[in-house]
Amino acid sequence: MQDSQETHMSNHLDEVVAAVSITSRKKVPNKLPQTALFQPPREKLHLCEERVKSYSNNHQYKQAIQELVRCVALTRICYGNSHWKLSEAYVNLANGYLQLKGYSLQAKQHAEKAKEILASSIMPPYNDNTDVFKCSIELFYTMGRASLSLQKFKEASENLMKAERLSKELLQCGRIIKEEWTEIQARIKLSFAQVYQGQKKSKEALPHFQEALKYTEISKGGKSLECVPVLRELAGAEQALGFHNAAISHFSQAHLIVLSRDPSQEEAADSAHFVARAAVASGRPEYHDVAEQYFQESMAHLKDHEGKRRAKFLLIQDDFCHFLQTTGQKERATLILKESLEAKVGAFGDFSPEVAETYRFLSRADLAQGNYSGAQKKLKKGIRGQGEDASITKECFQIQTLLYGPQDKRTLATQQTMDSLSKTPEVAVKPRHSLKAKVAFCTSVPQHSSLGKARPRMED
């Protein structure tokens, strides 16, 4: 019977057994004292559980998953194939795959295995073990989260409803205390809200987000970091419904919490950027000063950094320039974007959407102002090394043709801009055939080149 059960274990069991096998002795002497090799399985299981917490807290997710896999194997050794503890170990592994790595299918597979084990472990007469029911709540919650991640919204709702109903029954029976129930409710309500939001039902999602925030504030404290993602998602739902005052307020509240927790420069920049974008989305003049304030704060956190932070700064700066353009500050936006071109080529590469979009913005801004003589001078400036004959519009068109193809709406929009300029008597544009020849040359570059990595320079 035992051999039969082992045959039907999930395919991951080979990985599980390998994880605790002594075949990996090369690493053991360096990390563990020799006595650890002869520890009883339950002591090893406890050590693995402690390592999971440690690795997770230190964002060492790969190592945390490995320890969760070992926990499954050791739990089988300690409790057998049909014990609810093994179900709990599979639930923990499913949660690990889902939260630490975002692997929804693997999480669902492990959760289903946990459900199968739990169903066979609870036999009449039903025992009075509260831990079994807690495991059931976590199982249904995890299955709901995995289904949500896979966009199986009906299945997600059904499992979340089971988790909610069971937690309420345990509270009424006195099996769990109110504080524990509140913490469970915070997670379930947030997941329900995300189910509705995933279906673009912001009106139905809003009250669940509000309840999730209420329970999170009760269980974790009103100024805890756990409130930040809830506040942001709540603000997103409010924004979708046109409640811009509330959205800006909640994004600002989340920003204050982040700043109070000694964040990294990137975290602080992202947080301020949320507030700035919410102010812009309102479309209201009274929030223009708020938007500029938080854009400047966001960029200030990243201005003097290099690498990824420099790239993030440039993207936020692009958002800021778009805001300036919509508020009638086009000259200021154009000046900032012209100065950013060299840095963008260095950060993203010559053939990148970011560089193409900057060229497009500059050419359209000049055309919209009707300053054709000034446009002619500005359009003479191309990518580094292109010489004085390359125009911004042409560079944009070439990059977009390479990236998106000649029939993409972005490429066609730039083509229209070029056509408009060609009909303007103040601007002398080169004959179309010479441009097409250059584009044909550009499109010979392999289409599979990875964006954001090293790209062939345009002069090559």
pTM exceeds 0.85, yes or no? no
Distance CA 69, CA 428 (A): 69
Helix ranges (DSSP H) in 122-201: 130-149, 153-172, 178-198
- Token readout for 339 is 């100065």
Nearest CA to 236 among 268, 190, 167, 269?
A: 190
Helix, strand, or coil (residue 405): coil
Distance set, CA 77 to CA 12, 123, 273 (Å)? 16, 21, 50
- Rg over alpha carbons for the chain, rounded to the nearest Å, is 29
Q: Does 41 have pLDDT greater than 80? A: yes
Residue type, 240: A
pLDDT digits (tens, 9 = 90+) for 286-321: 999 999 999 999 999 998 777 767 889 999 999 999
Q: Does 95 have pLDDT greater than 70? A: yes
Cβ-contact 127, 83 below 8 angstroms = no
CATH number of 1-121, picked from 1.25.40, 3.40.50, 1.10.10, 1.10.3470: 1.25.40
Distance CA 87, CA 93 (A): 10
251 Cβ neighbours under 8 A, 6+ residues apart: 231, 232, 235, 274, 275, 278
207 Cβ neighbours under 8 A, 6+ residues apart: none
Distance set, CA 300 to CA 265, 293, 305, 316, 330 (Å)? 9, 11, 10, 11, 22
Nearest CA to 122 among 139, 106, 108, 107?
A: 139
Kindly state the helix (H) or strand (E) to which residue 351 belongs, with its residue range. Answer: none
Segment 103-113 shows an average pLDDT of: 96
Cβ-contact 138, 91 below 8 angstroms = yes
Angle between helices 288-300 and 265-282 (to 10 degrees): 160
- pLDDT confidence tier of residue 89, bands split at 50, 70 and 90: very high
> Read out DSSP for 357-385?
HHHHHHHHHHHHHT-HHHHHHHHT--STT
How do the domains of the chain map onto residue ranges?
Answer: 1-121, 262-348, 355-427
Distance CA 454, CA 459 (A): 14
Least confident of 69-83, 151-165, 417-431: 417-431
141 Cβ neighbours under 8 A, 6+ residues apart: 159, 160, 163, 184, 187, 188, 191
Distance CA 312, CA 284 (A): 26
Segment 427-431 shows an average pLDDT of: 46
Distance CA 88, CA 180 (A): 18
Cβ-contact 128, 97 below 8 angstroms = no
Kindly tell me the sign of the dihedral angle through the C-alpha atoms of 312, 317, 319, 320: positive
pLDDT digits (tens, 9 = 90+) for 363-409: 776 666 665 554 544 444 433 333 333 455 566 666 667 667 777 77
Segment 271-278 shows an average pLDDT of: 97
